[in-house]
Structure 1
Amino acid sequence: MTRTIFTRLIEGELPCAKVYEDDLTFAFMDAGQVNPGHVLVALKRPAETLLDMTEDEAAALFRTVHKVAKAVQAAFAPEGVTVLQANRAAGWQTVPHVHVHVLPRRAGDGVELGWPRKDPPMEDLLALAAKLQVH
């Protein structure tokens, strides 16, 4: 995998405002700060997407997301917190290194995330569910 800006931050090649680090994860302030307290939590290993991680890595990543979200709540007292994880360009991923945004939110902050609801009938939902093989 190509070295990304996140790899360079994690390795200390570029400066960042580190929030937390353990054996598998690294959390730092997003340089784009949508709202004060916006943190990115990344897997240290340069996996491109959630689908490229092991189950243990995914668990470690979201344990860190949980810790960071609690710290963001305590430090910034937002009215809400958005947790966003995107995969591949069509899924809105902008850096090809798996990461999660922990974004403190306030009513009227201008942050938007939306998609058109399709509202399929239950029989279609049941057919879609039947295609999944979750283990």
Structure 2
Amino acid sequence: MLKFGQHVIQQSCVFWESKLSFAFVNIKPVLPGHVLVSPKRIVPSFTNLSPEENVDLFKGAQQLASLLKTHYKTESLTLVVQDGVDAGQSVHHVHIHLMPRQAGDFANNDDIYGEIERVDSTTSEIRSEMEMESEAMIYKELVKEMGITS
């Protein structure tokens, strides 16, 4: 079990870990494959990451972006870091949203940002733990198959 701000992330929902970072499935995904990558240390702002955490976090995000592109058969991915309340950050712990994109998934590509905020503000779109565990298992297998290391 890992902490994500004020939340506890069950190990069954985590599909990748390094010494300093971890990736987990999103409880309220905007699109299929929408996952989060975060440092293990609770750090509220991107500017407070240590150089080692920054490298580890983005190295993991880059490797996992390749995994998601392959799995979802796409060449496009949206990465989002919301740093601070005024930027839309709802959990005060640095994290990168990785979202595979498909042609036409939004009428206007930038509508995804409003959708992130809309989904964050609702409680009705929360997935079950079983659904999240099932998705995490798929990604864990892909991490192994693709040889993604920490």
Normalised to the residue count of structure 1, the TM-score between the two structures is 0.72
Q: Which residue of structure 2 lines up, in the alignment, with residue 22 of structure 1?
A: 18
Three-state SS of the structure 2 residue aligned to 1:69 is helix
Normalised to the residue count of structure 2, the TM-score between the two structures is 0.65
Greater helix fraction, Structure 1 or Structure 2: 2
Match of 1:33 among 29, 36, 39: 29
Q: What CA distance in whole angstroms lies between the structure 2 residues aligned with 1:59 and 1:48?
A: 17
Deviation >4 Å, runs of 4+? none
Instruction: Return the offset for 1:16.
Output: 4.9
Provide the alpha-carbon RMSD of the alignment: 1.9
Paired letter, 1:69? A
Instruction: Return the offset for 1:109.
Output: 1.3
The answer to which structure, 1 or 2, has the higher relative contact order (CA under 8 A, 6+ apart) is 2
Aligned residues between the structures: 107
Asked which structure has the greater CA Rg, the reply is: 1
| Gaps in structure 2 of 5+ consecutive residues | 114-150
Q: What CA distance in whole angstroms lies between the structure 1 residues aligned with 2:39 and 2:27?
A: 18
Q: What CA distance in whole angstroms lies between the structure 1 residues aligned with 2:33 and 2:12?
A: 14
Q: Equivalent pairs: percent with the same residue? A: 29
Q: What CA distance in whole angstroms lies between the structure 1 residues aligned with 2:88 and 2:19?
A: 27
| Gaps in structure 1 of 5+ consecutive residues | 115-135
